Amino acid sequence: MDLISDALLLAASVGAAVYCYVLASRLRKFTTLEDGMGGAIAVLSAQVDDMTKALEKAQGVAGSSEKRLEDLTARADVMAKRLELLVASLHDLPEAGPAAPRRVEDPEPEPAPEEDPRRLRFVRRRSPREPMEAAE
């Protein structure tokens, strides 16, 4: 009986050794950096790092572009108000001013066409929407 139990124990330990050897070789192939899953994981990790850096850079550029756009919009609003005032002040000017002295050599200027009594006016209206609503 001892001989049979020793033989079974020897067979089980040889089977376990073969199983461990096969498992170790498969694991070695699995983690190889050149062509195994280890290589794929390393490549994906590097790509994730690159994408994270690109995303951070894009967020920085978008933030600076947003700030610049807000500044330009504010400047445009100020300039639009100034233009409105200038156009409004042009309506207050007299129709004909004093004539400038002419030299004898100057040719006779062409007469100005009759102006239409209905003149165009620039009217700016504010949008009823909120500023952020238009951006969305």
> What pLDDT, on a 0 to 100 scale, did the predictor assign at position 40?
80
What's the confidence (pLDDT) of residue 136? 45
> First-to-last CA distance in the chain?
86
Q: Are 88 and 124 in contact (CB under 8 A)?
A: no
Q: What is the mean pLDDT of each run of 10 residues along the chain (136 residues)?
A: 93 97 88 74 90 94 92 95 89 65 58 61 63 50
- The pTM for the full model equals 0.39
